[in-house]
Amino acid sequence: MEAHMDTLGTLLQHMNFNAEVFFSGSLCGIQTFDESKDAASLHYLRSGSMTLITEQGHEIAVEQSAVIFFPDGIRHRFISKGADPAELVCATVRFQPGQATLLADKLPKFLCIHEQDSTDVREAACQLFDEAFHDRHARQMMIDRLCDILMIHILRYVVGNGIVELGMLAGSTHPALAPLMKQIREHPEKEWNLDEMAASVAMSRSKFSALFKETIGQTPLEYLTDLRLHMAQQLLKADKPVGLIANNVGYENASSLNRVFKKRFGITPKQWLRQYLSSVD
């Protein structure tokens, strides 16, 4: 846990945010928000209800207080009709050039976090928007700091709920490690070793190992093993044969995967799948 906490902190040290609130009030009818470059879109539904529609075809009824976050600022619409109009606050969260893309590529297209899902996210959003609408000393500095806090809570939420894997998020947003992380994710079956990983980022073994551990919170080979096992679990859920899974994630055969899987989780892949299926029945 401590390593993961340090990893999230290291990730956020490389990123800078600032927020600009541009709307607060009742939403009636249809409101369209155009795509933003190098920026995320943040909305807080204080009360009322509305329907969220994205360019990808998502249509979601939001009927209670919620924070809605679009990491890459994609075009979207809100529709509010009837006797329960939406009371909405909206902001643009700006990143340094290129940071928005690095973050957005690893997060869902949007997050809708209801009050009961995370009181921390809701309270941070409330504090940010409250500051935005009061003329106080050091107002913009406070807004930027509160934006930092809100982003920490949002990332804690997505990591804590398994929406995104922290090591991949941290590595993929680090400029030196991002290309390698992409290769590992796309080709876990490859026979990766420390020398090849270090060479791919033009570093010595020792420098690469130190940077990786500082950024990800694990050694390169520890991370590779965890990633492969996580991918194996997803394939098990899809009812794929263990032998096929082994080959797809970088193990010679089912016996090799069984051995590593049992060492990590204390049970075999098939036993793990039975436990998983019984828990969702």
- Sequence spans of domains, the chain: 7-164, 174-278
Strand arrangement of the beta sheet that strand 111-114 belongs to: 17-27, 86-95, 39-47, 66-70, 111-114
pLDDT at 244: 95
Neighbours of 163 (CB within 10 A): 12
Q: Which of 41-45, 144-148, 165-169, 195-199 has the least mean pLDDT?
A: 165-169
| Fold of the domain built from segment(s) 174-278 | Arc Repressor Mutant, subunit A (1.10.10)
Q: Are 180 and 187 in contact (CB under 8 A)?
A: no
pLDDT at 101: 64
Tell me the CATH architecture of domain 7-164.
Sandwich (2.60)
pLDDT at 5: 45
d(CA 35, CA 20): 15
Q: Which of 35-49, 183-197, 202-216, 227-241 has the least mean pLDDT?
A: 35-49
Q: Enter the pTM of the model.
A: 0.62
d(CA 201, CA 263): 30
Under 8 Å CB-to-CB from 229, ≥6 apart: which residues? 249, 260, 261, 264, 265
Q: Do domains 7-164 and 174-278 have the same CATH topology?
A: no
pLDDT at 105: 67
pLDDT value at 28 more than 60: yes
Under 8 Å CB-to-CB from 90, ≥6 apart: which residues? 21, 22, 23, 24, 33, 41, 42, 43, 44
pLDDT at 147: 82
pLDDT at 4: 46
